[in-house]
Every structure is written in C-alpha cells, then in structure tokens.
Amino acid sequence: MTIYVGNIAYTMTIEDLKELFIAYGNVTNVKIIVDKQTGKSKGYGFVEMERDEEAENAIRALNDTQVNGRNIKVNNAHRKNTAAEPQI
C-alpha cells in the first residue's frame, strides 16, 4: 500500500522518513517529492509498505503527529485519475 505523507519538514531525508515508518512494518520504497528546478523538497512524499495492515497501522499512529516541529498528514495515497470525467 502506498501512503501519502504531507507537511513534512523540508529538511527531512528519505532515510528519516523510512525510519519513521519502519517501526510499523516492512518499508519497500520511500520518495520525497522535490522541485525540478531547485531540487528542494516540496514538503511531502510517499511511503510504500509491503502489507496493507501495517500501512493502516502506521496511518492511524502517525497522522497528525508532530515530527521535526510539524504536524504531519498521513493517509492512503489515491492515484490521480488523469482521464477527465465525462460532462453531461
């Protein structure tokens, strides 16, 4: 399951984010979104966990908790639907 993690500190590294989630289970991938021009963090990222149950436990435990002075937002990542909805 892929988890969205928002409002993270701009100084947070991939390793920092992984360490935060590894207490809840096997982390298979971590990505922090960066600005293409500056290379600086945009303040959010994604964590993939092997098992849905572990991911759900992490979401419940970490959502709205303070990490590096910021209350992070943690929830199930939903893929954007790139196809436009038909207009009637």
Number of domains into which the chain is organized = 1
CA angle 18/49/2 to nearest 5° reads: 100
Question: How do residues 29-74 score in pLDDT, each as one tens digit?
Answer: 999 999 999 999 999 999 999 999 999 999 999 999 999 999 999 9
β partners of residue 31: 46
pTM: 0.86
Question: The domain spanning residue 43 has which CATH number?
Answer: 3.30.70.330
Q: How far apart are CA 88 and CA 84, in angstroms?
A: 12
Residue 82 lies in a domain: no
Residue 15 lies in a domain: yes
Question: How do residues 63-72 score in pLDDT, each as one tens digit?
Answer: 999 999 999 9
Residue 83 lies in a domain: no
Residue 55 lies in a domain: yes
Q: What is the DSSP letter of 47?
A: E
Residue 17 lies in a domain: yes
The pLDDT of 73-84, averaged and rounded, is 76
In which domain, by residue range, is 55 found? Answer: 2-76
Position 85 pLDDT exceeds 80: no
Note the pLDDT of residue 40: 96
Residue 88 lies in a domain: no
Number of CB atoms found within 10 A of residue 59's CB:
20
